[in-house]
């Protein structure tokens, strides 16, 4: 009867061949790239376990993996913490700016300006969804139909001038 380590190594070799022949060709290109980087590490780890399965090397591997995952988790939490802190700081600064704007110009002008800004945002969102629904988006540029809502010149029109405004301007004012 062959020793257990040779049986284990033959099983690992067979699984490795099956993986390379049948699984890797079916993977998308990014996963094939990741597999090509991870495969030598796994192969060397498994062969070292089959050649000399001592407790010290297994324990060292497990401790190393544990510490690696802990460090990766710490980095993830740290990076996302700073990102969220930046977003919160930005929101506080926007709130302070709104308070200062209201203090300087008053509620009426602030609400008018907020309505104007909301209308612009609503128009952009509406135009984006209209382009998606119609399928009229071409090469990243807005079509004439989408520009029509924003510009009187898109459809060949002219800007409207109120009747009688020229006469009032010539007389010296609007009074």
Domains held by the chain: number: 1
Q: Whole-model pTM above 0.95? A: no
Question: Angle formed by the axes of helices 29-51 and 4-18, to 10°?
Answer: 170
Do the domain assignments include residue 143?
A: no
Do the domain assignments include residue 102?
A: no
Do the domain assignments include residue 149?
A: no
Do the domain assignments include residue 22?
A: yes
* 148 pLDDT above the threshold of 70: no
Q: What is the pLDDT of residue 15?
A: 81
Rounded CA-CA distance 5/11 in Å is 10
Do the domain assignments include residue 114?
A: no
Q: Using the Cα atoms of residue 52, residue 54, residue 58 and residue 60 in order, give the sign of their dihedral.
A: negative
Rounded CA-CA distance 144/33 in Å is 44
Tens digit of pLDDT for each residue in 21-72? 888 888 888 888 888 888 887 777 777 766 666 777 778 888 998 999 999 9
Domain range for residue 39? 1-53
Neighbours of 137 (CB within 10 A): 15
Do the domain assignments include residue 26?
A: yes
Do the domain assignments include residue 15?
A: yes
Tens digit of pLDDT for each residue in 79-118? 999 999 999 999 999 999 999 999 999 999 999 999 999 9
Do the domain assignments include residue 168?
A: no
User: What are the two backbone dihedrals, phi and then psi, of residue 136, each rounded to the nearest 5 degrees?
Assistant: -95, 5
């Amino acid at each position: 009867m062959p020793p257990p380590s040779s049986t284990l190594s033959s099983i690992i070799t067979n699984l490795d061949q099956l993986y390379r022949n049948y699984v890797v060709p079916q993977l998308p290109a990014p996963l094939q790239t990741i597999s090509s980087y991870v495969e030598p590490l796994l192969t060397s780890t498994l062969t070292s376990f089959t050649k000399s399965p001592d407790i010290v090397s297994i324990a060292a591997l497990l401790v190393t993996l544990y510490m690696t995952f802990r460090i990766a988790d710490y980095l993830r939490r740290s990076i996302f913490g700073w990102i969220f802190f930046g977003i919160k700081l930005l929101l506080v600064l926007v709130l302070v700016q709104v308070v200062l704007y209201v203090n300087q110009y008053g509620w009426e002008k602030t609400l008018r300006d907020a309505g104007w800004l909301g209308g612009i945002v609503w128009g952009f969102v509406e135009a984006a969804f209209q382009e998606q629904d119609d399928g009229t988006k071409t090469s990243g540029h807005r079509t004439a139909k989408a520009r029509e809502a924003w510009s009187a010149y898109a459809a060949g029109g002219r800007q409207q001038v109120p009747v009688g405004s020229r006469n009032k301007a010539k007389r010296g004012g609007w009074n």
